[in-house]
Copies of this chain bind each other. A is one copy, B any other.
Amino acid sequence: MTDTALEPPEDQATSAAHGDDKGPGSLHDELLGKLRDFIVEGNLADGARVPERALCELFNISRTPLREALKVLAAEGLIELLPNRGARIRALSPDDIRDLFDLMGGLEALAGRLACERITDEEIAEIEQIHHDMYRHYLRRDMHEYFRSNQAIHQKILAAARNPSLTATYANLSGRIRRVRYTANLARDRDRWGEAMREHEAVLDALRRRSGGELANILFAHLRNKRKAAQGQT
């Protein structure tokens, strides 16, 4: 009972799975990541049964850890667990997708709002740099690179919000609709490419002025328009 080794829990321990961080974790988490990728990448059809046994031998593990992973994925909303009928890939209805996009839009708006409070001049300069790159890609009609720059900007804003819980929640939703995004018709984006560029100008402007409320409005509307372009008009 000396006082040398009397420390509180001494956590710097990485949380497991709710997404805050991607710590090394146990073997189990490795499986979880693999399985999540496997599903997100669309190897299973919407609404399809998740073949427990097949996955077991695919990953060379027994059912126990696999079932634990499935429970987690269900909690994340990627699959649904039917009482005594196993797991199914969660199929997203158009309404579900609309709701998820709105939710992501709300989170982006929040990120912008918080970023305005905390972002440094250097970070704004970085974003301006990416913005200019993006404009170059736009002029060259390089859709792929444009898209990458676009993502990078939103990611920078998210980072500037400095809110790990927000980042984790955003990542979770991203995962849920990634399946859709792969299949989504991005060509529609092309129609409003110029419009999107103008919206991004406005984003940068509001960010420079640190006008949180404005930026929130712009970012939410930005995602709204994106969704409308992708989804008929609903």
Contact = CB atoms under 8 A, between A and B. Distances in A.
- Identify which of A26, A67, A72, A90 gathers the most chain B CB atoms within 10 Å of its CB: A72
Contacts of A102: 110, 114, 163, 166
A16 interface: yes
A96 interface: yes
Contact of A220 (B16, B49, B64, B113): B113
A210 to B, nearest CB: 15
Interface string A165-190: 11011000100000000000000000
Copies of this protein in the complex: 2
A110 B224 CA distance: 12
Nearest to A87: B16
A25 interface: yes
Interface stretch (A77-85, A131-139, A145-153): A77-85
B71 A71 contact: yes
Contacts of A166: 99, 102-103, 106
B13 A85 contact: yes
A191 interface: no
- Identify which of A8, A20, A105, A220 gathers the most chain B CB atoms within 10 Å of its CB: A220
A103 B163 contact: yes
B18 A75 contact: yes
A164 interface: yes
Interface of A: 8-9, 11, 13-18, 20, 24-26, 47-49, 64, 67-69, 71-72, 74-77, 80-85, 88, 90-91, 96, 99-100, 102-103, 105-107, 109-110, 113-114, 163-166, 168-169, 173, 213, 216-217, 220
Q: Which 6 A-B pairs have the closest CB atoms?
A: A106-B110, A16-B81, A15-B80, A75-B75, A18-B77, A13-B82
